[in-house]
A and B are shown apart, each in its own frame.
Chain A
């Protein structure tokens, strides 16, 4: 055969493989509003940057007449490409081929691209759209999942791992996304659960739809499994691109530096956002936007535990991770879910050299039997652990209330914050004035002729003396009391000064965080 003939033969073979599950399966995929696996990769990556590997891999199943079947690419597409010029390794399960089911060679393709990502030290993106284990391949498909989980864990904290759920992801398959850093879901398309509605109905007699059991909204709002929620696949890809621009390629690098841009002061003016009355709510995200470059803020987990806000912004062109109590919801208290949410984000930033900026305004921990019984001790401890363990630059700004355990937990000086600033509106005390006065002046209040009058008087007295930043500043727990409008300058300076911060904890294999 001549080169021409051989090239022709190659093209013919490729055409067969590139057809995926065939016209009918593709039509079905599109009829439910889903793109095909290859379309998704192309939509996400830079134009013409995608290079596919292992196109000719064939499945290895022998039983149940499987050896007579041809499954193009064995139901998964793998390759490399770029996003805004950043290199990434990527795989996308192809639901049109045997329902994207995971067999031995399908898993081999995924683990191969994962190994690539680890060697090349670049982010890994996995697009999940699969009916689950390929039953015909038996234990080999289970082995496949296990091999993937192992690699997810090894890669954790070394390269960014992003999971995109664009279809069903059920049973064992859910644990790969759960082990990765960020999970993206899309309304009406993503479905994640361990056991589906069918099994739940037969075993337990409970009837529930797939969407209500493990739809996108459920995971974004209720379970906290998902970090980003989108209404369409296209919107989801835009979110991924934005995230990629904020994070470094691997744990040995810093995120890329962008041009410094001043915040949009017309729109986000701290003086206008921030209420003078300490009991009134405001949206702390507006404060972040008033501080960050170009007022840009990529919020992570917007719907889950909204009483704490986490996300990425830039200061002087450098990525920072913001953790902020949100007085707009539940007065910004820490509870089981918000502790869990913050702690994981803190550890993410620490692993990937992203400095942490903490904005403090909380009345403490959420009281209640349900919270105590749900393990607020165990979950609250995660925040202490994550902040204490983090060695990236840690800068704290106490904007208003910082009471009791909440004060300690929100990256106080005592957990080794590098810089602690406070606004003049800060109230740093062992508890709120009301509670404190009731305890300290209990006898005086009870024995008074008009207890309410004395109580109000004592509250006022306590407030004046202790509900301010100056007691903490007198002990050096606060480095500087600053005007709110100076915050950006102080933060930028603090970050510049701590650029070469190097801190090493005691030698150990690993700690035992209160998971």
Chain B
């Protein structure tokens, strides 16, 4: 094997670090597609489940307390009451009544 071929063979492997040691190896699909973790931001309300925005109880600028109803997310024949997890002010509402949203879609931003 000449150098060029060797380099080519080498290049199909990635460097993979486990406990500071570096290994040459192939990566799997599920490893490449893994979700990176983000710390929870309580000021951003996301859809817990895909569904339909049945009703919106708040408008921009409203001051809300913990437990106040923000909107109703209809999914799996259930009316899910989305409550405010924090005390704050409505910064923006990202959805309209009747809109179908995907899971984890941003619904409301607080400040």
Spell out A's residues near B (CB within 8 Å). 203-206, 221-222, 279-281, 305-307, 327-333, 337, 363-364, 366-370, 373, 403, 431-435, 438
A370 close to B26 (CB less than 8 A): no
Expressed in whole angstroms, the minimum distance between the Cβ of A362 and any Cβ of chain B is: 9
| Of B27-35, B62-70, B80-88, the one touching chain A | B27-35
A331 contacts which chain B residues (CB < 8 A)?
A: 16, 18, 23, 25
A433 to B18 alpha-carbon distance, docked (Å): 11
A87 to B95 alpha-carbon distance, docked (Å): 63
Is B106 part of the contact surface with A, judged by Cβ < 8 Å? no
Tell me the B22-73 residues at the A interface (CB within 8 Å): 22-31, 34-37, 49-52
A279 to B14 alpha-carbon distance, docked (Å): 11
15 A-B pairs (CB sep. < 8 Å): A204-B51, A205-B50, A222-B30, A281-B23, A281-B26, A305-B28, A307-B28, A330-B25, A363-B21, A367-B19, A369-B36, A370-B35, A432-B19, A435-B20, A438-B20
Contact of A329 among B26, B34, B35, B102 (CB under 8 A): B26
A279-B22, A305-B28, A327-B25 known, 11 other contacts, Cβ within 8 Å: A204-B51, A205-B102, A206-B102, A281-B23, A329-B25, A363-B19, A370-B35, A370-B36, A432-B18, A434-B20, A438-B20
A204 contacts which chain B residues (CB < 8 A)?
A: 49-51, 75, 103
Nearest 6 A/B pairs, CB to CB: A331-B23, A369-B37, A435-B19, A363-B18, A432-B21, A204-B50
Contact A337 B23, CB 8 Å, known A204-B51, A205-B100, A369-B37: no
B19 close to A368 (CB less than 8 A): no
A205 to B47 alpha-carbon distance, docked (Å): 13
B101 contacts which chain A residues (CB < 8 A)?
A: 205
A328 close to B25 (CB less than 8 A): yes
B51 contacts which chain A residues (CB < 8 A)?
A: 204-205
A435 to B18 alpha-carbon distance, docked (Å): 9
A306 to B37 alpha-carbon distance, docked (Å): 24
Expressed in whole angstroms, the minimum distance between the Cβ of A388 and any Cβ of chain B is: 25
Contact of A433 among B13, B21, B28, B75 (CB under 8 A): B21
Contact A368 B34, CB 8 Å, known A203-B75, A307-B28: yes
Contact of A363 among B23, B27, B35 (CB under 8 A): B23
Contact of A328 among B26, B31, B49 (CB under 8 A): B26
Q: How many inter-chain contacts with C-beta < 8 Å in the A-B complex?
A: 84
Expressed in whole angstroms, the minimum distance between the Cβ of A328 and any Cβ of chain B is: 6
A194 to B23 alpha-carbon distance, docked (Å): 40
Residue of B nearest to A280 (CB): B24
Residue of A nearest to B22 (CB): A279
Is B76 part of the contact surface with A, judged by Cβ < 8 Å? yes
A279 close to B21 (CB less than 8 A): yes
B76 contacts which chain A residues (CB < 8 A)?
A: 203
A221 to B29 alpha-carbon distance, docked (Å): 9
A432 contacts which chain B residues (CB < 8 A)?
A: 18-21
A368 to B31 alpha-carbon distance, docked (Å): 10
B24 close to A281 (CB less than 8 A): yes
A330 close to B31 (CB less than 8 A): yes
Residue of A nearest to B37 (CB): A369
A487 to B36 alpha-carbon distance, docked (Å): 42
A370 contacts which chain B residues (CB < 8 A)?
A: 34-37
A434 to B101 alpha-carbon distance, docked (Å): 48
Expressed in whole angstroms, the minimum distance between the Cβ of A85 and any Cβ of chain B is: 40
B19 close to A364 (CB less than 8 A): yes
Residue of A nearest to B15 (CB): A279
Residue of A nearest to B33 (CB): A222
A222 to B30 alpha-carbon distance, docked (Å): 8
Contact A367 B18, CB 8 Å, known A222-B30, A281-B26, A330-B27: yes
B28 close to A306 (CB less than 8 A): yes
A373 to B49 alpha-carbon distance, docked (Å): 19
A431 to B20 alpha-carbon distance, docked (Å): 10
A434 close to B13 (CB less than 8 A): no
A307 to B23 alpha-carbon distance, docked (Å): 13
B52 contacts which chain A residues (CB < 8 A)?
A: 205
B50 contacts which chain A residues (CB < 8 A)?
A: 204-206
B27 close to A435 (CB less than 8 A): no
* Of listed A206, A279, A368, A373, residue having the most chain B CB within 10 A: A279
B75 contacts which chain A residues (CB < 8 A)?
A: 203-204
B102 close to A330 (CB less than 8 A): no
Contact A434 B21, CB 8 Å, known A203-B75, A203-B76: yes
A462 to B19 alpha-carbon distance, docked (Å): 15
B49 contacts which chain A residues (CB < 8 A)?
A: 204
Q: Mark B96-111, 1 if CB is under 8 A from A, else 0.
A: 0000111100000000
A433 to B49 alpha-carbon distance, docked (Å): 46
B16 contacts which chain A residues (CB < 8 A)?
A: 330-331
Expressed in whole angstroms, the minimum distance between the Cβ of B33 and any Cβ of chain A is: 9
A431 to B29 alpha-carbon distance, docked (Å): 27
* Of listed B18, B21, B25, residue having the most chain A CB within 10 A: B18
A187 to B13 alpha-carbon distance, docked (Å): 28
B22 contacts which chain A residues (CB < 8 A)?
A: 279
A305 contacts which chain B residues (CB < 8 A)?
A: 28, 30
Residue of B nearest to A433 (CB): B21
* Of listed A281, A305, A331, residue having the most chain B CB within 10 A: A331
